[in-house]
Structure 1
Amino acid sequence: MNYLFPLLAALIWGGNTIVTKLCAQTLTPIEISFYRWLLAVLVLTPFTLKRVCANPALTRGVLARLAVLGLFGGVIFQSIAYYAAHYTSATNMGIMQALVPLIALLLSIFFLRHRAGVAALCGLAVSISGVVLVVSRGDLGALVRQGLNLGDALMLVAVLSFATYSLLLNKWKLGVPLVESAYIQALVATLAFLPAYLAGSHHALGVADSFYVGFAGVGASILAPLLWMSGVNRLGAARVSLFFNLVPVITALLASVFLAEHLSGWVLGGGALAIAGVALAEFKPRRAA
């Protein structure tokens, strides 16, 4: 039963990539980003605002760091991912997101002087080779000659932003309850998108658009993180982290059903390599008793 928590979180995050691709047809990246975080704020405010105001741990320094996290995770990552959805497939987006923990590891090696083991470095190399296989469509020469597809390039920037978010979140260890942290970051993202939203053109929300906003604002922004952290509390971070490897698999399967995306050999092979690399990097042999 405890495994259901991270499994549902992975399912929601995988589904959110499909929603990102679908909403690209009717909503601008600024619209979906603003609506998503505004909805999250509106849902959380009745339960969270009083606790935030009364929390003595929320000093100016902590609030400033939460604002930085909100910019990397809620503004830069989300907006670029929505732009990327116009130019690449949901399957590619899902596979590239598998690189987040490894890029975070790479950043920690360069900027925090973290020492990585052989398994982590080998896993990084395997995952990168898998992503190269996906974005090159099995033709490395064409990738060298033509460069990255715009959508894939944007998604790599988005993944770099979220990896930075993950690194900072782990480094700072702010000690703020998850719901309060999520609320403040959602509020920062909403305020950051507000000027661009007011300056741009707006589309009337149809039934499908409302579903997309609801899924992203409540499902991906609130429910999935809470389910994930519940899984961490019950099973431990090491066990739960492996469930993140399911996100690109779920994304690819859902994309084949709802978006009619073809699962070609190079997608399946590259995706398998990317996931295997993450699993290898996270592998820690048990010590003898």
Structure 2
Amino acid sequence: MKAAVDRADDGESISRLLRAWRGRVDARTVRELRGIFPRPGRRLSQAHVARMTGVSEGWYRALEAGRRQDFSERFLLRVAEALRLSEAETLTLFLAVSGRRPPEAGRDRTDLPRGVQTLLHQQVTYPAYLSDGAWNVVAANALMGEWFPWVLRPRPNLMRWALLEPEAREQMLDWEDACARVYLAMLRVAANSNPGNAELRALVQEILDSDADCRRIWAEEHDVVEHRDGHDFRLRLPYHGHAEVRVTSHVLLPIQRTDLRFVFITPADGWAGVPR
């Protein structure tokens, strides 16, 4: 009978990868190890990596052995730095160990991939926009600005507009069931998925502090919604002469910036035009 393959020895194991990444670093070139005794040779040991990342050797050994622990984001970033990991290797480490992507540290909110910007602005048939993890609208095409002029205001935020602005309750029909309950359920998922996001926590608190209807819905509902892809909703906008239209939202994640949402809005049920 053929022996089962040990996951620690296969080519996909994070244990195997960590050992390989550690093995390619010459300990003699590591500044943090200069002057320690005994003087390190070429091989970077687990003890060396533990010293470089500020943890015990046993804690780092648990990571390299593939044992599940509560490894913090900060610790994993220190490991990536110590082992001189590339962006793709750091992504692999985070996904394998925590199931999360590494933080988008230091990235300018306006630093958008050129292809994504081009696709956004070449979309001239339907409204489209990009939002970040806290639903700040970071870019929008011209038609989005015509349908929803609020995106042209300083620091536009979808949740803040939809849940707090009086005009949203007039323009989004069946506001409580089709809008507020869905958006609050999305905020609930996001807040629990990324508890360290201070901006997101502040947004949730601002909405609950500012509106009694949102507080009531938040307290009485326990629904969770990850995104609004494929959801239909009814609008009555000045752009359409206040006639009712039904549309569908579509949510995509740009591969270059998965911290962003690419959202575009199309007619529902084959509706082919807009009343003006």
Q: TM-score, normalised by structure 1?
A: 0.19
Write 1 or 2 for the structure with the bigger share of helix.
1
Q: Which has the higher contact order (CA 8 A, sep 6+)?
A: 1
Q: TM-score, normalised by structure 2?
A: 0.19
* Larger Rg over CA atoms: 2
